[in-house]
Amino acid sequence: MIIACPFCHGLNRVPADKAANTARCGKCKQALFTGQPLTLTSANFAAHAEKSELPLVIDFWASWCGPCQSFAPIFSQAAAELEPQFRFGKIDTEQQQTLAARFAIRSIPTILVIRQGQTLAQQAGALPKSAFYQLLQKLS
């Protein structure tokens, strides 16, 4: 499986028989899984959303958005519990307006799940933990 590094964004081939949670980047030697959401930008988006074979769960958010702030701990907890089954990333719609426009994000928070550039699911609005996990379980 091809997995992008959360630090240098280099692509790594991880054999199926290797424990993903112990995998390290061949380029920067950092752990490939941290249990923390990535900050996604125009510069690193392609490596994680298009080139990596791991499903990417994206939270489109903004700092002024109350529902975004209330959903943030649920999203972070999911990253800690569900990596390496999924990669989790956050896109600040104020900072990354091009990415928000690319996916026609009209309300925040919006959750988008992508694998190799293909949208698997999209959900607008903050979800309770059980509904969020149920959405992800359908995709695993």
Cβ atoms of 129 and 97 closer than 8 Å = no
Considering 5, 8, 25, 65, which one is annotated as catalytic? 65
To the query of whether residue 65 is one of the catalytic residues in this protein, the response is yes
To the query of whether residue 68 is one of the catalytic residues in this protein, the response is yes
Q: What sign results for the dihedral spanned by CA atoms 76, 58, 124, 96?
A: positive
- Region of 35 (left: φ > 0; alpha: ψ -120 to 50; beta: rest) is left
pTM (predicted TM-score): 0.95
Considering 5, 8, 28, 68, which one is annotated as catalytic? 68
Q: What is the pLDDT along the chain (140 residues), one digit of tens a residue?
A: 999 999 999 999 998 777 777 899 999 999 999 999 999 999 999 999 999 999 999 999 999 999 999 999 999 999 999 999 999 999 999 999 999 999 999 999 999 999 999 999 999 999 999 999 999 999 97
